[in-house]
């Protein structure tokens, strides 16, 4: 049996305020009453027994108090006590009583700040320590039933609605529990919000796909294929295999990063360290992107900072030369795709990691795996368009020239992206 108690008056307390009583067992509760000068007193507890709400009336006969200690007691308590004597009013109070589960780790600053908030209604929080395996197991089962992924602690569950991490705050909790909030408006808002959430992911994927690190390697691959005599149709086939390989490899890398960052966020201190590092990195990348744009504008493209190291460039070129001459066209292309993805991570990961942090923050009704798929589809879209363009007749020289002409704009867009992500993570 699950029990939750809530006192309508500060002069009456029960400890523990919530408990689980197993079959054929008992539990002791301590009631503490501050009489405030009364010789006779009655007070109510709201009680939730296995989700069935009711109330319990406590009577106390006290010895006559000294004359000088007599007072009017607690006026607010008197009003509430009179209200609950009325059956309809009692039901209204019981129905408005908020009972919420909160899962946290001891020392969680977010939890402490939230639980000390100034709540305006009758509220009881059932606290669960996630360092206890049983509590963590129950939470995972509950979230699985709700089809919601466990992303970040603390986690608050109220009426099958879930808030996680920084979303556990007074503002969002109040919106969640506000009784006069229109369900239709709320659903419309959430629906609109869900449509908007993937937009930064799509934009980031497309930007990463035209990232100079990735694009210059692509141009080298195409020029190599032309050099060894591959036809347009063959290049298109290679492009499709190359893009699919990039998608799958990059997706698996993202999956690993997603699980690492999500697991780290279970521990508040590690989560804060990651956020600090990510914030610092984004600031640096923003500055360097705009610096690169300035260098490009002044004709000093060779001086840009955000590019692949020369050693990695040479290694990639070597991989492309060796594998484009393989007898098995598909096997060689797959090898190139995997190697290019791995070697370019130091550059493309600049965009990927902030997006991973963003996905973890927004995941909920839409799976993080779907968001990851959206990002990687965006990433390979420019690659596919390039290979289709080559098939349609665009020359490699023309493609290179177009890319060089747009390099300034690409750097500006990357700088704006890194800056905007500071507000999203």
Residue reference for tokens 């694009």: 215
Instruction: With beta carbons less than 8 A apart as the criterion, state whether 175 and 193 touch.
Output: no
Which stretch of 90-104, 244-258, 336-350, 396-410 has the lowest confidence by average pLDDT?
90-104
In Å, what is the CA distance from 159 to each residue of 26, 100, 129, 173, 408?
28, 8, 20, 12, 51
In the three-class reduction of DSSP (H, G, I as helix; E, B as strand; rest coil), residue 44 is classed as strand
pLDDT class of 243 with cuts at 50, 70, 90: very high
pLDDT attached to residue 196: 67
Does the pLDDT value for residue 185 go beyond 70?
Answer: no
Residue 350 CA, distance from chain mean position: 19
Q: What is the pLDDT of residues 16-58, one digit of tens each?
A: 877 778 777 888 888 887 765 555 556 666 777 766 777 777 6
Name the residue among 33, 31, 42 with its Cα closest to residue 10.
33
pLDDT attached to residue 191: 45
The CATH topology of domain 2-96 is Immunoglobulin-like (2.60.40)
Instruction: With beta carbons less than 8 A apart as the criterion, state whether 320 and 193 touch.
Output: no
Question: 30 Cβ partners below 8 Å, 6+ apart?
Answer: 14, 15
Question: 72 Cβ partners below 8 Å, 6+ apart?
Answer: none
Mean pLDDT of 190-194: 49
| Alpha-carbon span 323 to 183, nearest angstrom | 59
Q: Which residue has better confidence, 302 or 365?
A: 302
What's 98-181's CATH class? alpha beta
Does the pLDDT value for residue 143 go beyond 80?
Answer: yes
One-character DSSP codes across 92-139: HHHHH-EEEEEEE-TT-HHHHHHHTS---S-EEEEEEETTSHHHHHHH
Does the pLDDT value for residue 74 go beyond 70?
Answer: no
One-character DSSP codes across 261-297: HHHHTTSHHHHHHHHHHHHHHHHHHHHHHHHHHHHHH
- The rounded mean pLDDT for the chain is 79
Q: Where are the domains of the chain?
A: 2-96, 98-181, 196-424
pLDDT class of 142 with cuts at 50, 70, 90: confident
| Alpha-carbon span 303 to 285, nearest angstrom | 16
| Alpha-carbon span 239 to 82, nearest angstrom | 78
pLDDT attached to residue 43: 65
- 42 beta partners: 59
């Amino acid at each position: 049996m699950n029990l939750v108690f809530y006192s309508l008056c500060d002069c009456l307390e029960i400890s523990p305020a919530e408990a689980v009583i197993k079959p054929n067992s008992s539990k002791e509760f301590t009631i503490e009453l501050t009489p405030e000068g009364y010789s006779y007193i009655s007070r109510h507890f709201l009680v939730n027994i296995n989700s069935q709400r009711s109330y319990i009336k406590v009577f106390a006969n006290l010895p006559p108090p000294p004359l000088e200690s007599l007072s009017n007691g607690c006026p607010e308590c008197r009003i509430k006590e009179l209200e609950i004597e009325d059956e309809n009013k009692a039901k209204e109070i019981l129905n408005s009583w908020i009972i919420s589960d909160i899962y946290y780790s001891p020392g969680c600053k977010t939890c402490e700040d939230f639980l000390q908030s100034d709540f305006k209604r009758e509220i009881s929080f059932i606290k669960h320590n996630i360092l206890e395996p049983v509590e963590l197991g129950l939470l995972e089962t509950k979230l699985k039933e709700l089809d919601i992924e466990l992303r970040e602690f603390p986690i608050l569950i109220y009426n099958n609605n879930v808030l996680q991490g920084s979303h556990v705050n007074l503002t969002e909790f109040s919106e969640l529990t506000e009784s006069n909030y229109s369900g239709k408006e709320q659903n419309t808002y959430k629906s609109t919000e869900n449509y908007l959430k993937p937009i930064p992911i799509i934009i980031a994927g497309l930007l990463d796909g035209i990232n100079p690190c990735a694009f210059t390697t692509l141009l080298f691959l195409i020029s190599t294929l032309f050099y060894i005599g591959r036809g347009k149709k063959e290049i298109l086939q290679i492009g499709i295999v190359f893009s699919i390989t990039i998608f799958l490899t990059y997706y698996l890398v993202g999956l690993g990063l997603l699980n690492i960052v999500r697991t780290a966020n279970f521990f508040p201190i590690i989560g804060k360290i990651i956020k600090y590092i990510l914030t610092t990195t984004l600031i640096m990348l923003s500055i360097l992107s705009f610096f690169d744009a300035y260098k490009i504008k002044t004709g000093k493209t060779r001086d840009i900072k955000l590019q692949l190291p020369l050693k990695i460039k040479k290694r990639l070129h070597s991989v492309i030369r060796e594998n484009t001459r393989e007898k098995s066209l598909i096997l060689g292309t797959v090898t190139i795709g995997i190697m290019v993805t791995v070697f370019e991570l130091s550059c493309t990961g600049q965009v990927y990691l902030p997006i991973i942090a963003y996905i973890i923050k927004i995941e909920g009704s839409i799976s993080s795996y779907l968001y990851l798929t959206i990002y990687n589809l965006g990433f390979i879209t420019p690659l596919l368009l390039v290979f289709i363009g080559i098939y349609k007749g665009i020359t490699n020289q023309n493609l290179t020239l177009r890319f060089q002409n747009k390099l300034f704009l690409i750097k500006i867009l990357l700088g704006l992206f890194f800056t905007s992500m500071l507000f999203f993570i």
